[in-house]
Chains A and B, each alone.
Chain A
Amino acid sequence: MLISIIRTIILYCVVLITFRIMGKRQIGELQPYELAITIMISALAAIPMEDTDIPLINSLIPIIMLFILQIYMSIITTKSNLGRRIISGKPTILIENGKLVEGELQKTRININELLEHLRIKGYPNIADIEFAFIETNGTISVIPKSQKRPVNPKDLEIDTEYEGVPHPIIIDGKVYPKNLEKVGLSKKWLQNELSSFGITEISKVFFASLDCQGNLFYQTYRSTNN
């Protein structure tokens, strides 16, 4: 039993490191080959967890080999167009210039009801509002609406907008993030002064604080919702 626990910890760490190095895509939307590798790694890790007669190396070597193959595949798909087309395939147009492409629907084995369902999920209940729809290589459907049906943006209304950066979290769970403060050219002392002006004497009392690109400080103390 103890062996199972130790094996589980080892395999968990190996699988975690493998997926972490494989990259963010591996846990997001998967390409066909990525899905295959994910399933295989999970199965390889699960079997020796319960069967202690199987040497751990019999699982670790295949996991490492799959990881190596996955990285090579990623390099090929990044560097080579032909490789990408063979390994990942290419997007298919399901609606072109507002018209359903019957041949492609048949080839991809997607029926009209399924397509309509996906379009509704995307917020387009009327097929007549769509200019283009694609099925991407990872199986998701992306939609480009007709220009008259797309959401209005500030440029359409000729409205000038200011630059909007990303707010920087500077205190999380009572701890200051000095790197984020450095990024915006401020110091811990400035932060302490700023907080004391709101009557907060200790940083450890702040649950969360962030600074937006206009220099506005948002903060929230523990068990209260100030600001």
Chain B
Amino acid sequence: MKKLGIGITILLIITLAITAYGYTFTMNSAEEMLNDLTELENSIETNNWPQANKEVDELISKWEEINSIWGLLLDHTEMSKLDISINRINKLIELEDQEKTLVELALTKRFLQQIPENEYPRFTNIF
């Protein structure tokens, strides 16, 4: 019984550690992506398209890295929406369409803000 108790406590600690890691990773990576999107937004607002192109490439490579872990933790439908949005931004930057790019950026930012908001352990999310 004592061994079982110790084993279960170790399993509980591992489970909580995995959950905590998943939570902090989601929060930090969403924040990083939001910062990158804000920088990208600034570049587009100033019509600095070469800089925007560079930043969107970085954003896509970061997204690919994050995507592989988020896929294990978050709803796949939400992930697909974000993936489509990021690809749309990339194409709109190529086309140098300022208005549409800014709209898409605003939507993507909202999507990204919702992810940590939904994961945060607060009363409304629990119930």
Contacts and interface: CB of A to CB of B under 8 A. Distances in A.
Interface of A: 52-57, 61, 64-65, 68, 71-72, 75, 78-79
A79 B11 CA distance: 21
B76 interface: yes
Contacts of A64: 11, 15
Contact of B15 (A55, A61, A78): A61
A65 B12 CA distance: 7
A53 B73 CA distance: 11
Contact of B1 (A52, A56, A68, A78): A78
Given A52-B76, A71-B4, A75-B5, 9 more contacts: A55-B71, A55-B72, A57-B22, A57-B72, A57-B73, A68-B8, A75-B1, A75-B8, A79-B1
A65 B77 CA distance: 25
A68 B19 CA distance: 15
A-B CB proximity, top 10 nearest: A53-B76, A71-B8, A53-B77, A68-B12, A64-B15, A68-B8, A57-B72, A75-B5, A55-B72, A53-B75
Interface of B: 1, 4-5, 8, 11-12, 15, 18-19, 22, 71-77
Contacts of B73: 55, 57
Contacts of A65: 15
At the interface, is chain A mostly helix, strand, loop or mixed? helix
A68 B18 CA distance: 15
A55 B1 contact: no
Given A71-B4, A75-B4, A75-B5, A55 B75 contact: yes
Contacts of B19: 61
Contact of A68 (B15, B72, B75, B77): B15
A54 B75 contact: yes
Contact of B74 (A52, A55, A68, A71): A55
Nearest to B7: A71
A56 B15 CA distance: 14
Nearest to B12: A68
10 contacts: A53-B77, A55-B73, A55-B74, A61-B19, A68-B11, A71-B4, A71-B8, A75-B1, A75-B4, A78-B1
Contacts of B77: 53
A53 B71 CA distance: 9
A80 to B, nearest CB: 12
A72 B11 CA distance: 12
Contacts of B71: 55
A11 to B, nearest CB: 15
Contacts of B74: 55
Contacts of B15: 61, 64-65, 68
A72 B8 contact: yes
B28 to A, nearest CB: 18
